[in-house]
Amino acid sequence: MKLQEIKEAIKEGKNVYWSNSLYQVIKPKNDTYIIYCKSNGYCIGLIHKDNFTLNGKEDDFYILDNE
């Protein structure tokens, strides 16, 4: 998924993940998108400081509707 596709999916209330279902992309109240690890609470930003480059390969992001 591309960055804009991820943002749109989250805006639509869809569940977006990176790599596997432990890593969910979320948007907290501060308007920053993060990758949240469900097992330990660790977070990283969805994008690098350049505000464009994803912290992961585009092919590793996906939507999971069965939750």
Interval 32-65: pLDDT, tens: 999 999 999 999 999 999 989 999 999 999 999 8
pTM over 0.85: yes
- Mean pLDDT to the nearest integer, 21-30: 93
Strand order in the sheet with 43-45: 43-45, 34-37, 20-26, 16-18, 61-63
Give yes or no for a contact between 8 and 27, defined as CB atoms under 8 angstroms apart.
Answer: no
Query: Can you tell me the distance from the alpha carbon of 1 to that of 58, in angstroms, rounded to the nearest whole number?
Result: 5
Q: Is the dihedral of CA 64, 36, 55, 12 positive or negative?
A: positive
